[in-house]
A and B are shown apart, each in its own frame.
Chain A
Amino acid sequence: MKTILKTLSIKAIDRTDEYFCIGSFPCDEIVQRDLDQWGMLEPLIVQQRGELYRILDGFDRFDCAVRKGMTELPCAVAELDDISCYRFALDKAIQRQSYDIFDVSTSLRVLAEDCSISRNKIIEKYLPLFGFGAHEKILNKLLLLNELEDEQISLLRQNSVDADKILLLSEVDPSIRPAVLTLIVQLRPGINKCRQILELLDEISRREQITIADVLVDDSIQKILDDETCNAGQKLNRFRDALYERRNPTVVRTMELVDKKIRQLKLDKRVKLFVPQYLEGKQLRLEATFEDAAGLKEIARNLLETAGHTTFGELIDIVKEP
Chain B
Amino acid sequence: MALFEPVQILVERSAVDLPYTQKLLRYFSCTPVQVIDEIHQTKKTLHDYFSKNVLLITDYKGDIIKRCPGTRDMLCCNYYVANIINGCPFYCTYCILHDYINCGSVMICANIPKVFEELKAKTRDDFLMRLGTGELADSLALEPYVHLNDELLPGLKKCKNMVLELKTKSAFIDSILKYDVADQVVVGWSVNPQCIVDRDEYKSASLDERLAAARTMIEHGYRVTFHFDPVILIPGWQEQYRAVIRKLRDTIPGDRVAWLSIGGLRFTPSLKKLIQDKFKKSNIVSYGEFVPCPDGKLRYFRPTRVAMYRFMVEEILAWNRSIPVYLCMESEQVWRQVFGCHPLERDTLSHVYAPNPDWEEDEERAI
A270 to B356 CA separation, bound complex (whole angstroms): 47
Known: A250-B301, A321-B337, A322-B303. A281 touches B285 (CB 8 A): no
Assess the A250–B292 pair: CB atoms within 8 A.
no
Which of A203, A248, A278, A281 meets B73, CB within 8 Å? Answer: A281
Residues of chain B within 8 A (CB-CB) of A301 are none
Assess the A206–B283 pair: CB atoms within 8 A.
yes
* Chain B residue, CB-CB nearest to A136: B48
Residues of chain A within 8 A (CB-CB) of B304 are 250
Known: A202-B276, A250-B304, A279-B302. A207 touches B287 (CB 8 A): yes
A27 to B331 CA separation, bound complex (whole angstroms): 67
Interface residues of B in 258-291 (CB under 8 A from A): 276, 283, 285-287, 289, 291
- A205-249 Cβ-contact flags toward B at 8 Å (1 or 0): 011000000000000000000000000000000000000000111
- Cβ of A243 to closest chain B Cβ, rounded Å: 13
Assess the A250–B302 pair: CB atoms within 8 A.
no
Give the contact-size bracket for chain A.
Answer: 20 to 34
Residues of chain A within 8 A (CB-CB) of B306 are 321
Which of A248, A279, A321, A322 meets B289, CB within 8 Å? Answer: A248
Verify if B95 is at the interface (C-beta below 8 Å from A): no
- Cβ of A209 to closest chain B Cβ, rounded Å: 9
Interface residues of A in 247-261 (CB under 8 A from B): 247-251, 254
Known: A277-B292, A278-B292. A206 touches B286 (CB 8 A): yes
A292 to B125 CA separation, bound complex (whole angstroms): 60
Residues of chain B within 8 A (CB-CB) of A203 are 285-286
Verify if A199 is at the interface (C-beta below 8 Å from B): yes
CB contacts between A and B, total, < 8 Å = 51
Verify if A33 is at the interface (C-beta below 8 Å from B): no
Verify if B294 is at the interface (C-beta below 8 Å from A): yes
A282 to B283 CA separation, bound complex (whole angstroms): 31
A278 to B73 CA separation, bound complex (whole angstroms): 15
Verify if B293 is at the interface (C-beta below 8 Å from A): yes
Assess the B285–A278 pair: CB atoms within 8 A.
no
Verify if A280 is at the interface (C-beta below 8 Å from B): yes
* Chain A residue, CB-CB nearest to B283: A206
A284 to B75 CA separation, bound complex (whole angstroms): 20
Verify if B348 is at the interface (C-beta below 8 Å from A): no
- Cβ of B264 to closest chain A Cβ, rounded Å: 13
- Cβ of A94 to closest chain B Cβ, rounded Å: 26
Assess the A254–B276 pair: CB atoms within 8 A.
no
A22 to B90 CA separation, bound complex (whole angstroms): 46
Residues of chain A within 8 A (CB-CB) of B289 are 247-251
- Cβ of A322 to closest chain B Cβ, rounded Å: 5
Interface residues of A in 289-322 (CB under 8 A from B): 321-322
Assess the B48–A199 pair: CB atoms within 8 A.
no
Q: Could you tell me which A residues sit within 8 Å of B by CB distance? A: 136, 199, 202-204, 206-207, 247-251, 254, 277-282, 321-322
4 nearest A-B pairs in the assembled complex, by CB-CB distance: A278-B291, A206-B286, A203-B286, A248-B289
